[in-house]
Amino acid sequence: MASKLNLNPLKSRKMNKNEVPHISEQTHSQPSALRLSLKKKWFDMTKAGIKTEDYREINSYWIKRLTCEFSWDMNKYPLKLNEHKLVLNKGSMRQKDFTCNVMTLGYPSNDNTERILKFEHKGIEIRTGNPEWGAEPNKLYFVIMHGELIR
């Protein structure tokens, strides 16, 4: 059985100008905020400035949310680890453009600012993560890097 990831693009909807866009509402041509929900332990470490990156599994759901790929054949283009960084064999994944990283404690309402952090988006890498920050040793992740706190 092939390890091909088949994904379909999502349609966008009109948003209120004060609303923080959710990644699933992004199209290829318009950057949006990358909104990620965290458990309390990771939210508190991120808020304190200790945890400066977030990890997400490399699977069809996260490929769809974080990249411009709608189909990725893992047999034809395997992901390999070389010196703790990703090597793509005869292929490339283009990441989506994000305006910022919005980290939330659970799923708060937009007016619950104590449970919402907004950071500069510093990019996404595919590599191993820090086990002290929740990553399994020697496992590849999408590593979402945070910049300065915006609010």
- pLDDT attached to residue 132: 95
The Cα–Cα gap between 79 and 91 comes to 10
Residue type, 129: G
Task: Give the contacts of 75 (CB within 8 A, at least 6 positions apart).
Answer: 2, 3, 4
How many angstroms separate the CA atoms of 35 and 100, rounded?
Answer: 8
CA–CA separation, 26 and 125 (whole Å): 20
* CA gap 37, 20 in Å, rounded: 14
Task: Pick the closest to residue 54 from 6, 123, 111 (CA basis).
Answer: 123
How many CB atoms within 10 Å of residue 126?
19
pLDDT in tens, 20-50: 433 333 444 467 899 999 999 999 999 999 9
Residue 89 has pLDDT above 60, yes or no: no
The 10s digit of each residue's pLDDT in 97-151 is 899 999 999 999 999 999 999 999 998 888 899 999 999 998 988 899 999 999 6
The whole model's pTM is what? 0.70
The Cα–Cα gap between 33 and 97 comes to 9
